[in-house]
Amino acid sequence: MDVNEGLNIDINNNALPEDSSEQKPEEKIEEVSQETVEVPLAGAMAEPAETLMVDVVGIRFKKAGKVYSFDPSGLELKSGDDVVVETARGIEVGQVARTVVKVPDNMVNKPLKPVVRVATKEDLENADRLEAREDEALVECAAIVRKMALPMKLISAEYNLEGNHLTIFFGAEGRIDFRELVRELSHKLKARIEMRQVGPRDEAKLIGGYGRCGRPLCCATFLNEFNPVSIKMAKEQNLPLNPMKISGTCGRLLCCLGYEFEQYRDMKKELLKNGENIQTSLGAAVVVGGNPLKGTVFLEVESGARVEMAMKELAPKKEEKAQEKEKEKEQEPRRRRRKHAKGKS
């Protein structure tokens, strides 16, 4: 077998698994002159253009993995069925995550790969045998990595159903020249080798583990895509801005910071703002904090003591202040007219 035969060298080390997407080129809008536009007669109804609909089924290859669209090929498929599908890596076994639905043809990313068949007992046994070989492939790859002194961390490996295509996921600080590694590994394993460099979040998703809450990682159990998380979400929820307390096992901000962010933001709108001066039954006070879950605010009175009061108790004062602002708005135009009249005289 030729050493270079069947090589698949991924030059772009930064490609992430299951998250790559190609941007569509901007569509050019052709300008139509007014002379060529036909105006329909009054009362005439324009016939709607017939939209072509196609059948699509959603297939998932990993637990909490992304759902990909495939052509069901006329098969009756139920959620949870194991199927054999054609992919860019060859033939693979997946699971039906979304049953067959009809979608407009223009919303489908073409070409749509087909579902080959419902997975048989032999297909599943073959997939289990190949899964056992993946650990052996990682051991072989690790030996070559040590020999070449490559600064990379091997994470996992995946064979396709035919066993002729092996994808190896790894982590690294920067770009790695792994061409020589691919050549030697392909020669040893007699398969096409594809190297995929992943980020810290994808690494945690592939390896799995437990979070600081004591439960399995969200990304490894039910999150099929990563949403942006910012430090603003922690501030909005009054969480300590200590990186050790708001970071996950991947070293990035916790994904769960975004779960209740909108709810906290909406609840805080009902509270008084920090630094606001108000009148209470205890006298004048300044707002120094609040608890959105309890609907209370923390006040500092003139004596320097701090008290916690419910917004229900302060609601009348808040309404009175809002009414005062409305009166000021109504009186503002009158003041402007008087000032304008004085200027003319």
The per-residue pLDDT for 153 is 93
Same domain, 261 and 311: no
Do residue 259 and residue 281 come from a single domain? no
Instruction: Check whether residue 253 and residue 294 sit in a common domain.
Output: no
Determine how β-strand 192-197 pairs with β-strand 165-171. parallel
What integer pLDDT is reported at residue 38 of this predicted model? Answer: 44
Residue identified by tokens 């992919």 is 87
Residues 284 and 321 in one domain: yes
What pLDDT score does 1 carry?
A: 41
Is 110 domain-assigned? yes
pTM above 0.95, yes or no: no
**pLDDT reported for residue 164:** 93
pLDDT band at 340 (very low <50, low <70, confident <90, very high): low
How many domains, the chain?
A: 3
Position 302 pLDDT exceeds 80: yes
Q: Residue 26: pLDDT above 60?
A: no
Instruction: List, for residues 34-71, the tens digit of each pLDDT value.
Output: 333 444 444 444 445 567 888 999 999 988 888 999 99
116 lies in the same domain as 57: yes
Indicate if the pLDDT at residue 224 is higher than 90.
Answer: no
Determine what percent of the chain is predicted with pLDDT higher than 90. 50
- Residue 33 falls inside a structural domain: no
Q: Within this chain, do residues 260 and 288 fall inside the same structural domain, yes or no? A: no
- Min mean pLDDT across 32-36, 230-234, 320-324 is at 32-36
Query: What's the whole-number mean pLDDT along residues 104-126?
Result: 90
Residue 19 pLDDT greater than 60, yes or no:
no
Same domain, 258 and 293: no
Q: How far apart are CA 337 and CA 197, in angstroms?
A: 69
Identify whether 296 is part of a domain: yes
pLDDT at 112 over 50: yes
Q: Is 136 inside a domain boundary?
A: no
Q: What is the pLDDT of residues 170-189, one digit of tens each?
A: 999 888 899 999 999 999 99
Residue 237 lies in a domain: yes
Position 35 scores a pLDDT of: 38
Identify which has the larger pLDDT, 151 or 38.
151
Position 28 scores a pLDDT of: 37
What per-residue confidence (pLDDT) applies to 280? 84
Examine the fold and report which residue of 101, 120, 139 is the final residue of a domain before the chain moves on: 120
Whether residue 286 is contained in a domain is answered as yes
Q: What digits encode the pLDDT tens for the residues 255-299?
A: 999 999 999 999 888 888 888 888 888 888 999 988 888 888 999
Average pLDDT over residues 245-255: 93
Q: Which of 49-53, 153-157, 232-236, 325-329 has the lowest mean pLDDT?
A: 325-329
Please give the pLDDT value at position 337: 62
User: 27-41, 108-122, 136-150, 214-228: which has the minimum mean pLDDT?
Assistant: 27-41
Which pLDDT score is estimated for 217?
94
| In a domain? residue 208 | no
Please check whether residues 57 and 112 belong to one and the same domain: yes
Sign for the CA dihedral angle at 31, 35, 37, 43 comes to positive
> Both 250 and 292 in a single domain?
no
Q: What is the mean pLDDT of residues 136-152?
A: 94
Q: Do 64 and 110 share a structural domain?
A: yes
Containing structural domain, residue 63: 53-120
Same domain for 261 and 302, yes or no, is no
Q: Are residues 243 and 285 in the same domain?
A: no
Alpha carbon distance 270, 210 (integer Å):
36
